[in-house]
């Protein structure tokens, strides 16, 4: 009987120890659940904060895109304005160039007419008188007048001129 009692005691002891160990994990399980609940609320708060930041970032991105579109539209407008002004300037340059060409032609015609009249005047003069006048003029202007005359008339005028002046004018005529 002593052994039966020992056996019963041993079985009771094993049941007790088992129940102790079984109780402990359920306590730990309860503690873990509490920790997860606390952590869950922290995570929910963190998720809310992340969601708010995501919304703010989305709003900022939308605003930035709108601003970029406005800047792009403004830039396009300015480019169009610059292009039209460049075209206008180019057109005015072309008009000015045409006017300059016309003025140069008119000036050339006037100079030719003037030289023709001067040449006619010198051609009608006596060689000695023309030689005296041309001798007193600067060499460049005298050469221009002589170039507009007939070679026979130039020869007559040069023979009536001082030899030094005649040779200077001849050199200029040959160039």
Rounded Cα distance between 3 and 127, Å, is 174
Alpha helices in 125-175 (DSSP H): 127-136, 139-147, 151-159, 163-174
pLDDT recorded at residue 73: 92
Read off the pLDDT of each residue in 37-61 and give the average, rounded to a whole number: 84
pLDDT recorded at residue 19: 61
Q: What is the DSSP letter of 161?
A: S
- Tell me if the pTM is above 0.75: no
- Check whether 67 has a pLDDT greater than 90: yes
Nearest to 160 by CA among 140, 130, 136, 138: 130
- Where in the chain are the domains? 2-124, 125-175
pLDDT recorded at residue 39: 77
pLDDT band at 173 (very low <50, low <70, confident <90, very high): confident
């Amino acid at each position: 009987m002593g052994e039966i009692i020992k056996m019963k005691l041993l079985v009771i002891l094993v049941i007790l120890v088992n129940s102790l160990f079984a109780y402990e994990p359920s306590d730990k399980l309860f503690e873990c659940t509490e920790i997860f609940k606390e952590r869950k609320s922290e995570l929910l708060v963190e998720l809310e904060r992340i969601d708010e930041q995501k919304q703010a970032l989305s709003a900022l991105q939308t605003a930035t895109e709108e601003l970029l579109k406005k800047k792009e539209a403004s830039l396009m407008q300015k480019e169009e304005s610059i292009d039209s002004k460049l075209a206008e300037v180019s057109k005015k340059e072309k008009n000015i160039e045409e006017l300059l060409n016309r003025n140069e032609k008119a000036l050339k015609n006037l100079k030719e007419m003037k030289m023709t009249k001067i040449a006619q005047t010198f051609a009608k003069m006596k060689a000695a008188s023309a030689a005296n006048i041309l001798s007193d003029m600067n060499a460049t202007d005298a050469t221009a007048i002589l170039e507009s005359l007939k070679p026979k008339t130039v020869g007559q005028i040069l023979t009536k001129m001082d030899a030094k002046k005649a040779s200077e004018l001849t050199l200029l005529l040959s160039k």
